[in-house]
Amino acid sequence: MSQSESDLTKIYLGHVISPLSSTAYLDFVQGALVVNGKGTIIDVAPWSEIQHKYISGNHINDSNVEIVDLGQRLILPGLVDLHLHLPQVSQTGRSGQHLLAWLNKYIFPAEARFSDTNHARKIANWFFDELAANGTTLAVVFTTIHKDATDAAFEVALEKGSRVIMGKVMMDANSPEALTEDTETSLRESEELAVKWHGQGDGLLLYAFTPRFGVTSTSELLAGVGRLFAKHPGTYVHTHLSEAKEEIQFVATQFPSARSYLDVYKSFGIIGKRTVFAHAIHLDDQDIKTVADTHSSLAHCPSSNFFLKSGVFLYAKICAAGCLFGLGSDVAAGPSMSLFNVMKDANYMQPDIWIEPPELLYRATLGGAKAAHLDHLTGSLTVGKEADFIVVDASRKSGIVDNILSQPTDEILSSLVFLGDDRLIEATYVRGRCIFHI
């Protein structure tokens, strides 16, 4: 960043909406989001209340201030995707089967191709471009078992300015030959990547130790992950939990002394703050209490659960228990990277409860950031946080009325959640830097 860029303050004028909780949101129809040259939010308020700070008469007070007038367009926090797979971006929409059969037919062959680092880099470029085009400003990402491919993915993320929690997948049992690792090699390479990449990009890049799931893990691997997690403060663990009944049954035969699937992870120290468990559909009451008590996090992936017919997330019970959770697209089992589609599916998947649009937006923004333990930096448009935001024009989507931007905010949010997709995204910013613009 040049000296002039670092000194430049930008004021984005538009309809500013940002969750305050699962039921309330900040709402400035003629609002202003003020971002300094370091990419930090320094003001957010109605423009009428703060314009005197920046304008005298018809003149901007400071030559290092730029005003970007977005009209009626929406300024929202960037979206948070708590679970998806980089190598699977090319496999979306593959004919659905139950989890283990689907993995063997489509996913494992696609992941094996990542032994070719040039191929891996090509897919990584596509993946991060797609994330930005969908308005995702924080993603928790699986790569593959390949160290060089994961290294390339981090390089691409750094170049593009993405905010990501990511790690090399770890598999040392019950896997295709091309994807089965030596246990010690898997642990060593994962630690090397964590040391190299965790905290890079001035904190935009964070490392997650990533055992795929209980099915493809030995006790030795999981014990090693627990040791590495404890050894490297601030890192994450990202894995699957209780997605499919056949998976749960398989894990029970591997770890017969464990009370439950979650208990397997707990016994190896793979639980607690900065552990993200994807899916977590089939949990009993004790498991749910353990998740809440340990401040572990869940990534709810309704589109994927729908596609693979895995089951229904216990949304109301998990909310009532106070568990930290957000939404995940789970590409490629989830057929779309658009978290607007995921929000819609989260409501559609619940047979007995209605999830209101403000709650769904919260789960895809501030709720997801809380689950990632990064809500001090991102997830809402708050003074002092980093400027991760998106510019949205709901009128660009067919099926949404042309005058939607002039309607009450509750109606706007309903249209976003139930009719929205990537076509709504006009621009995506991470730490004040534009990483996508139509």
One domain, residues 331 and 234: yes
pLDDT tens string 154-166: 999 999 999 999 9
Q: Which of 371, 394, 428 is the last residue of a domain?
A: 371
One domain, residues 281 and 424: no
Please name the helix (run of DSSP H) or strand (run of DSSP E) that holds residue 299, with its range, or none: strand 297-300
Name the 3-class secondary structure at 226.
Answer: helix
One domain, residues 30 and 150: no
Q: Which of 182, 203, 240, 132 is nearest to 376 (CA)?
A: 203
One domain, residues 361 and 294: yes
Q: Is residue 376 part of a domain?
A: no
Q: Which of 325, 343, 371 is the last residue of a domain?
A: 371
Q: Is residue 298 part of a domain?
A: yes
One domain, residues 331 and 355: yes
First-last CA distance in the chain: 23
> What six digits make up the tokens of 93?
């929409």
Kind of pairing between the strands at 205-211 and 169-170: parallel
One domain, residues 250 and 394: no
One domain, residues 54 and 169: no
pLDDT tens string 227-256: 999 999 999 999 999 999 999 999 999 999
One domain, residues 407 and 284: no
Q: What are the φ and ψ backbone dihedral angles of 197, each rounded to 5 degrees?
A: -110, -25
Domains of the chain: total? 2
Name the 3-class secondary structure at 379.
Answer: coil
Q: At residue 304, does pLDDT exceed 60?
A: yes
Q: Within a 10 A sphere around the Cβ of 58, how many other Cβ atoms? A: 5
One domain, residues 363 and 430: no
The per-residue pLDDT of the chain, averaged, comes to 95
Q: What is the pLDDT of residue 96?
A: 61
Kind of pairing between the strands at 59-60 and 55-56: antiparallel
Q: What is the pLDDT of residue 3?
A: 42
Report, as an integer, the average pLDDT of 398-426.
95
Q: How far does CA 82 lie from the centroid of its chain?
A: 3
Specify the CATH number for the domain of residue 10: 2.30.40.10
Q: At residue 97, does pLDDT exceed 80?
A: no
Q: What are the φ and ψ backbone dihedral angles of 185, each rounded to 5 degrees?
A: -65, -45
Full domain range(s) for residue 26: 3-77+381-437
Q: Which of 201, 205, 214, 264 is nearest to 234 (CA)?
A: 205
C-alpha neighbours within 13 Å on the C-beta side of residue 385: 21
When pLDDT is cut at 50, 70 and 90, the band that residue 90 belongs to is confident
Q: What is the pLDDT of residue 5?
A: 64
pLDDT tens string 172-214: 999 999 999 999 999 999 999 999 999 999 999 999 999 999 9
pLDDT tens string 356-394: 999 999 999 999 999 999 999 999 999 999 999 999 999
Q: What is the pLDDT of residue 334?
A: 86
One domain, residues 120 and 140: yes
Weakest-pLDDT range from 15-29, 48-62, 324-338:
48-62
Q: Which of 186, 169, 184 is nearest to 114 (CA)?
A: 169
When pLDDT is cut at 50, 70 and 90, the band that residue 2 belongs to is very low
Name the 3-class secondary structure at 156.
Answer: helix
